[in-house]
């Protein structure tokens, strides 16, 4: 039995890939009584979101394997580190999402067929921050 294809709608394709790392930080700009001013850690989850108006063969926005250098970057530079000691900013999830978007744009975007839409950073199962990249 063969299924006939319905008329295909126009639009864009979007994919996401999640990565994880463990990191500690504190936010010294907060009052001392705020819990985040003290050293603490998170099991960070980072989602990279890409889009394309058309698919590359064999039918991808971007091959997920093309994002492996990002995983390597996270593992080698952020995993099991005190983020406030190595990053040039107070490591809120918002700033971390923007920083990671910048890293992807500088190191991966030129070779990727898909366009980076956003980077989402999740500190816990119930809290996240997302940086949306302006379309160029």
Tell me which of 36, 45, 47, 84 is the catalytic residue: 36
Question: 3-state class of 85 per DSSP?
Answer: helix
Catalytic annotation on 85?
Answer: no
Which residues, in sequence order, are CB contacts of 4 under 8 Å at separation 6+?
A: none
Q: State yes or no: 84 annotated in a binding site.
A: no
Catalytic annotation on 22?
Answer: no
H or E, element range at 21: strand 13-25
* 95's tokens: 């700033």
Q: State yes or no: 42 annotated in a binding site.
A: yes
Catalytic annotation on 36?
Answer: yes
C-alpha span between 10 and 103 (Å, rounded)? 31
Question: 3-state class of 128 per DSSP?
Answer: strand
* 132's tokens: 């949306």
Residue 65 CA from chain centroid, whole number: 15
Tell me which of 22, 34, 80, 107 is the catalytic residue: 80
Catalytic residues: 36, 80, 123
Binding site feature residues = 25, 40, 42
Binding site feature residues for Zn(2+) = 25, 40, 42
């Amino acid at each position: 039995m063969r299924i006939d294809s319905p008329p295909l709608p126009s639009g864009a394709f979007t994919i996401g890939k999640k990565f994880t790392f463990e990191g500690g930080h504190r936010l010294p700009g907060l009052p001392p009584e705020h819990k985040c001013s003290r050293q603490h850690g998170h099991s960070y989850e980072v989602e990279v979101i890409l889009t394309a108006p058309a698919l590359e063969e064999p039918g991808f926005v971007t091959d997920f394997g093309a994002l492996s250098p990002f995983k390597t970057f996270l593992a080698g530079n952020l995993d099991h580190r005190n983020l406030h000691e190595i990053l040039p900013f107070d490591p809120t999830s918002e700033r971390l999402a923007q920083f990671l978007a910048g890293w992807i744009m500088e190191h991966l975007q030129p070779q990727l067929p898909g366009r980076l839409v956003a980077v989402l950073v999740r500190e816990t199962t119930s809290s996240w921050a997302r940086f949306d990249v302006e379309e160029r």
